[in-house]
A and B are shown apart, each in its own frame.
Chain A
Amino acid sequence: MLESFIKSLAGVPWLELLITGTVKGSMYALIALGYTMVYGILQMINFANGEIFMIGMFATVFGIALLSSLWGSFAAINLILGVVFAVILASAYGYGSERIAYRRLRNAHILAPLTSAIGLSIVLQQFISNVVGNQPFTFPNYYSDPFAWRVVTLVQGNPATGAGDVGISMLQVCILTTACLLMTALFYMIHCTRVGIAMRAVSQDRLMASLVGIPVNHVIAFTFIVGSSLAAVAGTLFSMYTTTLTWSAGTASGLKAFTAAIIGGIGNIPGAVLGGLLIGIIEDFTIAILGAQWRNVILFAILMLTLILRPRGLLGERVADKV
């Protein structure tokens, strides 16, 4: 048993798994940032964040479909506008959910906003399920296929064993670049702009922030908008990457991103990024080594271990970066 396990380890395509895991992890990280930012500022888990990721998927595809019926298939323009549409819609959802489901419960017992968040996520999920007819959707190939070409080949295949090439595709490059750009922009915003100072001030002492003139409600709403936008972009990227959209996608990816945020140290921005990448990579290695059914066992075992050994997460001690 052990011997065959070790033998199977030898054949693991670690380089490719590292690539695919990083790509997927960067998308988890974008979602995890939403969880962690909202937690940082409100000490509340916005469970609906995973659904906003899912809404981002559908909004992009809907936006693209709308535009191509309006003026035809201008690939780049439609795709970009589709993402913009998704970000706007997701922001509206994020803002609306804060206004409707959370603001009044801000000073209530901790269970109240949590329950509200879970309720909201079920509402969003069922809403989409009802609207799109509860069946798998395909991301229009016309828009994702142009990204399929391989940018570099890292390992040539071996004709003797039949092993294939290992490379990086344009889409993978785009996903990583987009994620990096967004995260850099987020870091910049949080550390170098006034609204960033305001966000951190609100997260540290809400009443005092209000006393120095920071419009706390606006800053909180803005945090939701930023988190939702990141999740929406992640949704677009994920649906392009996997070519499908399902109304249940938010639950699966949302839960993993949430786990990522916890592992990194909830409330901690670099922690969410680190957690996301870790989860993505661990997930893919688990699938390859133990099989897909083991992935949740491993992920949640790691979650529990983290909570036991480092209750505040991997980067939880470096609270300076908390939003």
Chain B
Amino acid sequence: MPKQLFLILTLLVGLTFAAGCSKSSDPSTIKIGLAGVQTGNDAMLGKSMVEGSAIALDEWNAKGGILGKKLEAISVDDEGNSEKAVNVANDLVAKGVVAVLGHFNSSCTIPTMRIYNESKILQITPGSTNTKITQEGIPTLFRVVGRDAQQAEVNVNYLFDTLGLRKLAVIHNSTSWGEGIAKEVADLWKKKGGEVVEFSGINEADRDFSANIATIKSKGAQALFGGLMYAQSGPLINKMRKDGLEIPFAGGDGSFDPALITAAGDYATNVFLTFGPDMESKPEARPFYEKYRARYGREPGPYAIYGYAAAQVLLTAMEKAASTDAAKVAEVMHKDTFQTAMGEIAFDEKGDLRKTYFVIWTVKDKKFVVLQQ
């Protein structure tokens, strides 16, 4: 009897899978891949980014789609894991997407950008800041965020020049993004004549930082830069304050999420993060924020608007090129200037933003606020 039951179950499971696979691709739509981390530690950042893109696609569909066809969003979750990212990228290629908005983590964008390039799929990453990404010379790859090199510079200038600190400790999460930005910060710091008293990598799963804090404390660092995602930097800030390490904590966009403040709680003091400017205060961004809240019933993550703007750029360029061909769309993108919810966007020959705008944010009354320059 249990054996039979097992057989039936197996059959059922098999059927479900078969049904899932047989959903054939519909040639009458234009398929856009929305890829990002939607579960796991960085889920909060990646998910709202994908949702932002989805809102834009729906708006276009409401207006009748583009080039006479409806848009079909194929949303995939790379779990912030580079192997999984390669799998979902291959999936997207197989499903015949013409363009991908994603991925979020640099460690997922780097291995997948080659896959998309080989399949002549245009890619815009709304969230990956690793400097290397646009150095490969892929003509159909763009990003609507700044580069870590720029981020690092803003960070270093603030700590070194504005705060006048000289001894820096650097910690990173050993990912492409974390280690990349950590190295850039450390190099810049040394170039300016500062001293890097500690440089160490941890694992993404680590949650106990006592030993790192003890080390940093003993080396007399005056500030700590963390190439970490918010899931780690929040608890780290909390723990370092509790262990009596009161020095400024600086970080990049990966730490920029309200969850950092939740985790650090009252101990979220002396925190300085680089991120884009305060979008919500821009009039052109306001409709998006309202739409997002109405649709999802919660606050958008900081990267939601980047996902939205990336989609705006992509679709506008497709219309202008009157084609979904990656090369033709890319040509338009390299040339034109786009009006988006984030303001004007134009790309240089590498696919990077012509104008970037990292600013320093800090935490005040349990909220991120732009530090007055």
Contacts and interface: CB of A to CB of B under 8 A. Distances in A.
Query: A and B touching (C-beta < 8 Å)?
Result: yes
Interface of A: 11-13, 16-17, 20-21, 23-24, 129, 133-136, 138, 141, 145, 148, 150, 158, 161-167, 169, 171, 238, 241-244, 246, 248-249, 252, 283-285, 287-288, 291-293
B201 to A, nearest CB: 6
A150 B244 contact: yes
B244 A162 contact: no
B211 A284 contact: yes
A13 B41 contact: no
B202 interface: yes
A288 B266 contact: no
Contacts of B262: 138
Contacts of B84: none
B201 A291 contact: yes
A282 B334 CA distance: 54
A141 B203 CA distance: 24
Interface string B197-222: 00011110111111110110111111
B113 interface: no
A13 B218 contact: yes
8 contacts: A135-B39, A136-B234, A158-B220, A164-B245, A243-B263, A244-B235, A246-B41, A283-B211
Contacts of A164: 217-218, 244-245
Contact of A17 (B206, B211, B267): B211
Contacts of B211: 17, 20-21, 283-285, 287-288, 292
Nearest to A158: B220
Given A21-B211, A150-B244, 5 more contacts: A11-B219, A135-B259, A163-B217, A169-B243, A244-B234
B313 interface: no
Nearest to B47: A135
A161 B221 CA distance: 9
B265 interface: yes
B142 to A, nearest CB: 29
A4 B40 CA distance: 39
A222 B44 CA distance: 41
B218 A292 contact: no
B206 to A, nearest CB: 6
Contacts of A145: 265-267
A135 B44 contact: yes
A120 B235 CA distance: 29
Given A246-B207, A291-B200, A163 B220 contact: yes
A245 to B, nearest CB: 9
B235 A242 contact: yes
A293 to B, nearest CB: 6
Contacts of B266: 141, 145
B31 interface: no
A162 B215 contact: no
Q: Which of B43, B218, B265 has the most CB of A within 10 A?
A: B218
Contact of B239 (A167, A242, A291): A242
A141 B207 contact: no
B207 A242 contact: yes
B101 interface: no
Contacts of A169: 242-243
A20 B200 CA distance: 18
Given A24-B208, A288-B211, A288-B215, A161 B234 contact: no
B147 interface: no
A284 B205 contact: no
A284 B44 contact: no
Contacts of A161: 220
10 closest residue pairs by CB, A with B:
A162-B220, A141-B265, A20-B210, A13-B218, A287-B211, A284-B211, A164-B217, A16-B214, A292-B202, A134-B39
A1 to B, nearest CB: 16
Interface string B243-274: 11100000000000001001101110000000
Contacts of B206: 292
